[in-house]
Amino acid sequence: MYSARNNHILGTLEFNERSSVSVFHKTYAVPAVIFLVAAGLLSACGDDNAAPAPSTSATSSARATTSSDGTSSATAELVKLLRPSVVHIKSETATLDVFGQLVPSAGVGTGFIIDDKGHIVTNNHVVSTDSGDAAQDITVTLDDGSEHTAKIAGRDQPTDVAVLQIDSGNLKPATLGDSSKLQVGDDVIAIGNALDLPGGPTVTKGVVSALGRLIQESNPDVSIPNAIQTDAAINPGNSGGPLVDLNGEVVGITTAVIRGNAEGIGLAISMETAQPIVKELIDKGRVQRGFLGVTIQEITPSLAEQFNLSVDHGVGIRSVQPGGPADKAGLKQGDIIVKLGDKDIRASGDLFAALTEHRGGDIVDVQYFHGGDQRSTQVTLG
């Protein structure tokens, strides 16, 4: 996979897996990434199956209530029901310093229980080292204070999703919601171990500020489509925690925040994107995916008018991996993909979704514009 940059840079986007508050926690260098409103890398992703339905939910009965003075306490009731589903994650590893001595380091994040088999969803970067390897020791602390050693059921770097598993009874899974029903302006709640402050998880509330964002990181390669933007406060340690609607259902996985010249812009992986990844990680331990080998620029009507393009939608190719699948099929920089297989491609999320249905070795028909000519070719995915 390859990184791409866009002129519309809102700020520096940080993954929030590490806390420097506790003396036991190393401050990790957070990789610089770019938040793209309309452009960037697209990676071919895994299959499009529905996620496993969680068992008895800790949040399904959450509804707005009214206190004796008439004040709505919906948020407080939701938090009370959600907290047993939210976990504290501490990942530890040991590295060698310049003198060859072992140096322990640790990071902190958040996760949430999704079934009574002990599966916990979090971010991949919460349970990974700076080099991308899996953390050596992972400890999960439940809301009742009990600590459990966790194993990694599977992790997926491109979508920054990981699934852990613990051996514990009497778990209270969260309810997974339908993020496709979200609307801009909907109220949401973020729960996570912000800065690893004592006293349990931090709760912040905001609205859905935008939908369909694309999260991109240059190294290691991360490309997450259809992300949810929110103004709910997000800080280091929140990573992997649930973003919840007012029905008490998890609609996103908190993953990043933009710093610098932007304020109040947090990002979450939508459950629509995460659920098939979670299912495949549980079933197979990894996500197998096809690969196109391009970086892209999402085409908008304004961009098409500005550059006098032949089509006002689709994804333009910014660069092609030499010798990659797209290159071998004759696709060039500047071509605009408008259909892959039987799926119309109007935006980057459409291309991402279409590629999730295929695996390496699959042969797919691609329709595209080259200059003013509409053409088609067959691509053998890598």
Q: What is the residue range of 51's domain?
A: 1-287
pLDDT at 374 over 90: yes
**Total number of domains in the chain:** 2
Categorize the per-residue pLDDT at 32 as very low, low, confident or very high, splitting at 50, 70 and 90. very low
Categorize the per-residue pLDDT at 75 as very low, low, confident or very high, splitting at 50, 70 and 90. confident
Q: Among 236, 260, 287, give the residue marking a domain's end.
A: 287
CB 295 within 8 A of CB 40: yes
What average pLDDT score do residues 13-34 get? 33
Provide the 3-class DSSP secondary structure of residue 86. Answer: strand
- Give phi and psi for 169, each to the nearest 5: -100, 175
CB atoms within 10 A of CB 225: 26
Provide the 3-class DSSP secondary structure of residue 196. Answer: helix
Using CA atoms, how far apart are residues 184 and 177, in angstroms rounded to an integer? Answer: 16
Is 308 found in the same domain as 170?
no
Is 102 found in the same domain as 28?
yes
- The pLDDT of residue 265: 87
Q: List, for residues 118-164, the tens digit of each pLDDT value.
A: 999 999 999 988 778 888 899 999 999 999 999 999 999 888 999 99
Q: List, for residues 245-285, the tens digit of each pLDDT value.
A: 999 999 999 987 776 666 778 999 999 989 989 999 999 99
Q: Among 232, 262, 287, give the residue marking a domain's end.
A: 287
For Cα atoms 267, 175, 188, give the angle at the middle one, nearest 5 degrees: 35
Using CA atoms, how far apart are residues 266 and 35, in angstroms rounded to an integer? Answer: 11
Q: Tell me the DSSP string of 5-47.
A: --S-EEEEEEE-----SSTTS--PPPPPEEEESSEEE------
Is 155 found in the same domain as 23?
yes
Q: List, for residues 165-214, the tens digit of each pLDDT value.
A: 999 988 999 999 999 999 999 999 999 998 888 878 999 999 999 998 87
- The pLDDT of residue 259: 67
Q: List, for residues 302-322, the tens digit of each pLDDT value.
A: 888 888 998 999 999 989 999
- Give phi and psi for 203, each to the nearest 5: -115, 130
pLDDT at 42 over 90: no
Evaluated on CA atoms 214, 182, 123, 359, the torsion sign reads negative
H or E segment and range at residue 294: strand 294-298
Which range is least confidently modeled, 30-39, 57-66, 250-259, 336-345?
A: 30-39
Using CA atoms, how far apart are residues 240 and 111, in angstroms rounded to an integer? Answer: 5
pLDDT at 89 over 70: yes
Is 282 found in the same domain as 254?
yes
Classify residue 265 as left (phi > 0), alpha (psi -120 to 50) or beta: beta
Categorize the per-residue pLDDT at 13 as very low, low, confident or very high, splitting at 50, 70 and 90. very low
Structure token digits, residue 333: 């920089």
Residue found by looking up tokens 């649930």 in the block: 242
Q: Among 287, 322, 355, give the residue marking a domain's end.
A: 287
Using CA atoms, how far apart are residues 336 and 90, in angstroms rounded to an integer? Answer: 44
* Residues noted as catalytic: 125, 160, 239
Which range is least confidently modeled, 262-266, 360-364, 373-377?
A: 262-266
Is 304 found in the same domain as 283?
no
CATH code for the domain of 36: 2.40.10.120
